[in-house]
Chain A
Amino acid sequence: SQQGEEDPQALSIQEGENATMNCSYKTSINNLQWYRQNSGRGLVHLILIRSNEREKHSGRLRVTLDTSKKSSSLLITASRAADTASYFCAGLHNYGQNFVFGPGTRLSVLP
């Protein structure tokens, strides 16, 4: 399977702290994306990073990509209770037409 893996599976932090989630994948990618899923809802796209990029920022989000290690990380700074959700990485693999999702990280931000 080409499926990636997020780490940790679950993360609980206090409001205002930073949250870091990691993603590893098995085959070369064209781009890697992060999605958020609130409980009972569909997934929402957060950020995309291409294989020739190493870091990308969007608001309180910072994503890094290390293609040599086949890994990516998502950092959420100054977390809020509203950030409580599951976060998934998804890779679009070279020559592939489909995204491969990891099992996700459940983030709980406590007020």
Chain B
Amino acid sequence: NAGVTQTPKFQVLKTGQSMTLQCAQDMNHEYMSWYRQDPGMGLRLIHYSVGAGITDQGEVPNGYNVSRSTTEDFPLRLLSAAPSQTSVYFCASSLRQANTGELFFGEGSRLTVL
């Protein structure tokens, strides 16, 4: 089983460039989300989606866009990269049944913005 697949694993950008982090899951999960992980700060939620066509902002959404055209895919777009967006990004999905909600994570995408 592939689970949650993120690409690319590593990326270096220059300030002002744009890019898309890809996330795909093959578990038919309704819920998908993007987190960023910075040293000493745990994981902070950027955007999330509870189903195809539905997205919403998390704790730190500025500078990022998302869309959910299919159940499987949830790409994260950086519109104009800034050094403050240097981080490790994780995509996670969940089946979203009542009172469960175990998150399945991808392996992460390490982004450096120069």
Query: Measuring CB to CB, which residues of chain A are less than 8 angstroms from any residue of chain B?
Result: 1, 3, 30-31, 33, 35, 40-45, 48, 50, 88, 90, 92, 97-104
Contact = CB atoms under 8 A, between A and B. Distances in A.
A44 B40 contact: no
Contacts of A45: 102-104
B1 interface: no
Given A31-B101, A43-B90, 4 more contacts: A31-B99, A33-B103, A42-B106, A43-B92
A98 B48 CA distance: 8
Contacts of B56: 97
B102 A43 contact: no
Contacts of B59: 1
A99 B59 CA distance: 11
Contact of A101 (B43, B101, B108): B43
A43 B31 CA distance: 17
Nearest to A6: B42
Contact of A99 (B101, B104, B108): B101
A98 B41 contact: no
Interface residues of B, number: 27
Interface string B2-46: 001000000000000000000000000001010100001111110
B42 A48 contact: no
Contacts of A41: 107-108
A100 B60 CA distance: 13
A90 B42 CA distance: 10
A43 B103 contact: yes
B100 interface: yes
Given A42-B105, A43-B105, A44-B105, A88 B99 contact: no
Contact of B48 (A97, A100, A101): A97
A46 B28 CA distance: 21
22 contacts: A1-B59, A3-B42, A30-B99, A33-B103, A40-B108, A41-B108, A42-B90, A42-B108, A43-B103, A45-B104, A48-B100, A50-B99, A88-B42, A92-B101, A97-B31, A97-B48, A97-B50, A99-B103, A101-B35, A101-B43, A101-B44, A104-B42
